[in-house]
Chain A
Amino acid sequence: MSHAPLNLPLKGGGPALGPRPEGRPAKRVGWGLRHRAREQVEPRPGTFCATLPLSGGGLRWGLLFALLIPALALAQTPYVQDEWKYGTRQDGTQLHYCVDERDPDLPVARKIGAAIAGALLLEGKEHTVGEDWSGEDIDQIYQVLLETCDVFLGFKLIADVYPEWLTITRGYYRGSYVLVTANADWKSLADVPLSQVIGGTIGTSADIRLMQYLESLKPAERWTHFPVASDETALQDVADGKLAAALVWGPSFWALQKANADFAKLRIIALKPLPPSTMDVGAVLLARETFLRANLDQAIAALSGDGTIEGILKGFGFPATPVR
């Protein structure tokens, strides 16, 4: 439909919100800039702008500020009922970070969030959101960032998909899409007979690349391909024999295989002849929080460089690598 707002799935949509914590101290930097953005809201034709370039740790703050001004002046924020009621967090000693309880990397995200707060010499305040979430609307993220947290972990770095009021940090880990099968003999996609049906989680970067690859082949040389609703559905279809193999997000397979005995028999085979399909994962925050953004990037770079993130990933046996 649709009548519905554009759905920006990103990480499975925005979290459901709980009541605002009582008396919560807060840290909110860039307040002056925030007001400027609100007063100069000027929507432009088109819904989204490109994701801001990753700054790494080296960009000077002043340069970043100058680069961001035009974009922020144009940023049309979502409609939030009674937005005025969301005050400004004034306490500069804490970092409120959100994690989504539905994310497969939840335990990893919690550790990384705490590590980032520590690297910034701030007290980390974790907020778990996502319970009973029903929709998939990027606008919800705007509200949760107003109401609950400074930064929201677990978003994939995909070009051109984030609205202009949102920005994403540099990635803190790099995950892969994996091809999963129940067949014990196949070593790669190339071994799967063309008579078999393969699947992929609908609309993912990896599934799109798979479809592009299939379209490049002659019809007689293509596998039959079904888009599937979710990673879990795709894995269930493989376990049930409906699909010979399915392309899913590696961290999802990691989490779901632990949670579902049906998936114990499933294993990863190589994507060949497809190239590897990787994706960096970072955190989102309001685009106007330029100072915080720069500091988060520096903290993530430092944690990647000193082995902290690698240690977290290895500690969980998590299928990802730090982004160097």
Chain B
Amino acid sequence: MSRCSLKSWLLAATLLAGLTAPGLAQQQPNAEPISTAVKDFKPVTADMLLKPDPADWLMWRRTYDGWGYSPLDQINKGNIKNLQVAWSWSLTPGATETTPLVHNGVLYIFNYADKVQALNAATGDLIWQYTRALPAKLVAEGGNPLAKRSMAIYQDKLFVATSDAHIVALDAATGKVAWDHTTADWTKGWRYTSGPVIAHGKLIQGMTGCGNAEPGGCFITGHDVNTGEELWRVWTIAHPGDPNDGTWNGIPLESRFGSSAWVPGSYDPELNTVYYGTGQPYPWIAEMRGTLPKKEGAQNNALYSDSTLAIDPDTGKLKWYHQYLENDTWDLDYVYERILVDLPFNGETRKALVTTGKLGIIEAIDRVNGQWLWAKETVPQNVVEKFDPKTGEKTIRASAVPHIGQTTVNCPADPGSRGWPATAYSPKTQLLYLPLNEFCSNTTPLPLDPGQAYTGGGRATFARTTVPNSDGNIGRVDAFKLADRTPAWTHRQRAPETGAMLPTGGGVVFTGTWDRYFRAFDDTTGQVLWEVRTNNAVNGFPITYSVNGKQYVAVATGNGSSQMKALATLTPEIGSPDGGSVLWVFALPDK
């Protein structure tokens, strides 16, 4: 065989392998990528993360400040009516909550059950594919734990938090595994549902699924980006030795659960501080977990649940915390995105951190020291009766506290007036855009009686119902001016809101709904400028990017998200297909 013919044979064999490998890749442990490599891959530098090219989408909310805003303006109010499908790509069916990343014309997408693909962002052609060989039992159990909301990219690596509680670094050019670090034992219930944040050269990752398989709560870890080695760990529940160990009503560490960190944090490079949110303690009902009734002389606010944690990314030092909801007994997480924005407050400019928990209350604190600044309500809620105007301390309405043996009406219901679909902030309009839903719950604590280790979050029935005197509209998009704390506009509709918000420099705001609409609003008026009916519920994080000067908008659709299914119980007349996860990419027609 001549040298030339040998090369041809090898090429043919390689191509054949590429064509047949998808099936093989699902069977082999950590299968190799199936096809080609990214040509002329340009490493992502720290400077790129600090000031990303408008053409790229390099992290979950595009920028460290968590705004979810893109300055791209080729698609704008004047021409958005012409927006059309550029290409689409079928994703693995299943819970789909994904955020594509884009760098230098390559789009990276996480599929249900830990398949990662690199696609040509202009054409949708597959470049490489990585399929993780998940434990068969985990795959069989399926559901939301196999979805991921985000990934991270830095230098030449794409970082993926896996469903079996590993962190994996893939060569962003080829999809080959660079390193694989085991953080926790998935058989004990630990899992990742979102990806990491890269901050000051460190990889930061939050853990979820922290039931009492391993009591003591969740944690946020810092890792070496080159090896995956764990550098530090911050527990999201105060442990013995922590100054807030005494906030659990006297119950021992072995009986403290929850406080998951299941959404990526934000990062302020100037303060070199990472901000992570935490969820509620487990089980959800405080009486059941022993933090109610309050023991004499004890504290029972259950730190660090429902808080913002300010963490030094280099050392893992907890600089400060701010707790939004003490002793949560409704499953009302405060875990979501932290929007870092400087705002006027009492005649001065404050470095603010704005977040909105499931209660739908927009709350601002000072991100330098955690001092509370202000709060504003959006949807109907009956849990918080009033705020202390100086400290932000909430007075909880006693009638909304669930008790064993009683059914209590609380609004919003446990999936929250906002769930994981993220809010976004536009510097162009200075408006915060929120995907919201109006509903309540008849909450009845119920026994677990497991006979086995308690590993879940709950124990109550949350019979979701409409708010009193509802007009039937569940879904809602609000625009809110942060500078003067005034509402700008509200769009209401029957279908629940299921997508994250994407405002752009073109003056439009994208989001999606349970009834399969992907929609664009005028960012200042709330007028619907464009909408398209997709194949399934729109419940991913829309992004926008450009390749060779052409702007694209991408969003994933698909059924299976637990939050979405919970909302859907309120609109039984709106059906969506069981399967059919798809990445949709839109663009203006070529001239």
Contact = CB atoms under 8 A, between A and B. Distances in A.
Interface of A: 1-14, 16-18, 41-48, 76, 79-83, 102-104, 131-137, 139-140, 143, 154, 156, 158, 160-161, 201-205, 208, 211-212, 215, 219, 224-233, 237, 242, 249, 251-252, 279
B283 A202 contact: yes
29 contacts: A1-B208, A2-B331, A2-B333, A2-B414, A3-B333, A3-B420, A4-B456, A4-B562, A5-B562, A7-B459, A10-B450, A11-B449, A12-B452, A13-B456, A43-B569, A46-B464, A79-B559, A82-B93, A103-B451, A131-B137, A160-B446, A161-B446, A203-B288, A204-B448, A204-B450, A211-B287, A229-B212, A229-B255, A251-B451
Interface string B417-456: 0011000000000000000000000101111111111111
Contacts of B187: 132, 134
A267 B325 CA distance: 42
A252 B451 contact: yes
A172 to B, nearest CB: 15
A9 B569 contact: no
Contacts of A227: 251, 255, 288-290
A135 B141 contact: yes
A1 B144 CA distance: 12
Nearest to B189: A134
Contact of A202 (B141, B289, B419, B568): B289
Given A3-B419, A134-B137, A252-B451, A9 B404 contact: no
Interface residues of B, number: 85
A82 to B, nearest CB: 8
Contacts of A215: 293
Interface string B169-207: 000000000000000001111000100000000000000
Interface in B252-284: 252, 254-255, 257-258, 260, 262, 279-280, 283
A65 B535 CA distance: 37
Interface in B124-166: 135, 137-138, 140-145
Contacts of A249: 449, 451
Q: Which of B93, B449, B461, B572 has the most CB of A within 10 A?
A: B449
B140 A143 contact: yes
A312 B226 CA distance: 60
A134 B186 contact: yes
Contacts of A44: 569, 572
Contact of B142 (A81, A219, A231): A81
Contacts of A11: 449-452
A196 to B, nearest CB: 14
Contacts of A212: 404-405
The A contact surface, by secondary structure, is: loop
A4 B457 contact: yes
B479 to A, nearest CB: 25
B392 interface: no
Contacts of B140: 16-18, 143
| Nearest 8 CB-CB pairings of A with B | A12-B452, A7-B456, A203-B448, A229-B212, A46-B463, A17-B140, A16-B137, A5-B562
Nearest to B453: A230
B262 A12 contact: no
B291 to A, nearest CB: 10
A12 B193 contact: no
Contact of A230 (B135, B186, B452, B575): B452
Q: Which of B250, B445, B456, B575 has the most CB of A within 10 A?
A: B456
Contacts of A102: 452
Contacts of B419: 3
Given A79-B565, A82-B93, A224-B250, 17 more contacts: A3-B563, A4-B209, A4-B456, A7-B459, A11-B451, A12-B452, A13-B456, A79-B560, A132-B137, A132-B187, A133-B141, A134-B141, A140-B141, A160-B444, A160-B461, A203-B454, A225-B290
A81 B188 CA distance: 24
Contacts of B575: 41
Nearest to B145: A135
A228 B448 CA distance: 12
A202 to B, nearest CB: 5
